[in-house]
Amino acid sequence: MLYIEKTFDAESAQKWGDSIKHVSLVSSVIYIILTFGIKSYMRDRPGFQLRGPLFCWNVTLAVFSIIGSIRTIPDLVGALSNEGWTYSICDSSVYTGHLGIWVFVFVYSKLIELGDTAFIVLRKQQLTFLHSYHHVTVLIYCFYSYPQHVSCGRYYMVLNYSVHSMMYSYFAFKALRFRIPKFISVSITSLQIFQMVVGLVVSLNVMVLRYRGQECHQTMENAVAAVLMYFSYFLLFVHFFYKAYAAPVLAKKVESNGASSEAKIVGNRRGAKKLD
């Protein structure tokens, strides 16, 4: 057990989190204003390279996510194997136990992760609605859920740490101009979709359990918000997957089939002329 895990004061952290949850709303407004402001400023200017800072940024978040995964995955596996499914989605002991610090830093890292957008707009890369929407809604949901010690947070946290450990590692290598096989990016997006499916499933299960009167450390309102949030993410990530990976493949097949058909027609015409 790490020293920071032993000394973490969960009760004080919960009270502090409750007192500053509104910061997520203020931060989101500032984030949106700055994003559009920087995009406007950069419109007629060349984009910055920023490969060094980008690499350092992604490596830092990758290492953070990897450590978070290593520390929290065993808790989820243990909760499932030793106590069962209902316990794993309804118990909130992870907030006050020795892993409380990892829930805490996970929640407030969402404020830091807004910095991802700065690199996108300063480098004049495409900023998608999915990117900004995801960052803002996750930030607000996490800040308002932490003081409640939402029980499904165990799943939300482990899945996010795990996917981010791979995602930020991928971005770090990309910043160094490594040639990375396409199946890696396809796999990461697939895992993101899987993350949304699991988040949706656990949140829906909490709703059902609460409706049946089962004791669960997550309010019906919070579970509904989580369901709506994860469902919207699922739709947006599936749409992104289709546009980024499936659509180009289908377009190539259509183009190939069209060229093949045209070649057959030309061949038939030539054959007909020879017969004439």
Q: From CA 175, how far away is CA 53, in angstroms rounded?
A: 9
> Which SS3 state, helix, strand or coil, does residue 247 take?
helix
DSSP 8-state symbol, 123 = T
* Residue position matching structure tokens 């932490």: 146
Return the sign of the alpha-carbon dihedral for residues 119, 121, 123, 128: positive
Question: CA–CA distance from 77 to each of 62, 95, 103 (Å)?
Answer: 22, 16, 16
Q: From CA 189, how far away is CA 11, in angstroms rounded?
A: 36
> Does residue 87 contact residue 79 with C-beta atoms inside 8 Å?
yes
Q: From CA 101, how far away is CA 5, in angstroms rounded?
A: 6
- The helix/strand count (H/E) of the chain reads as 12, 0
C-alpha neighbours within 13 Å on the C-beta side of residue 156: 27
Q: From CA 42, how far away is CA 24, in angstroms rounded?
A: 26
> Does residue 57 contact residue 115 with C-beta atoms inside 8 Å?
yes
Residues designated as active site? 134
| Structure token pair of residue 248 | 């180009």
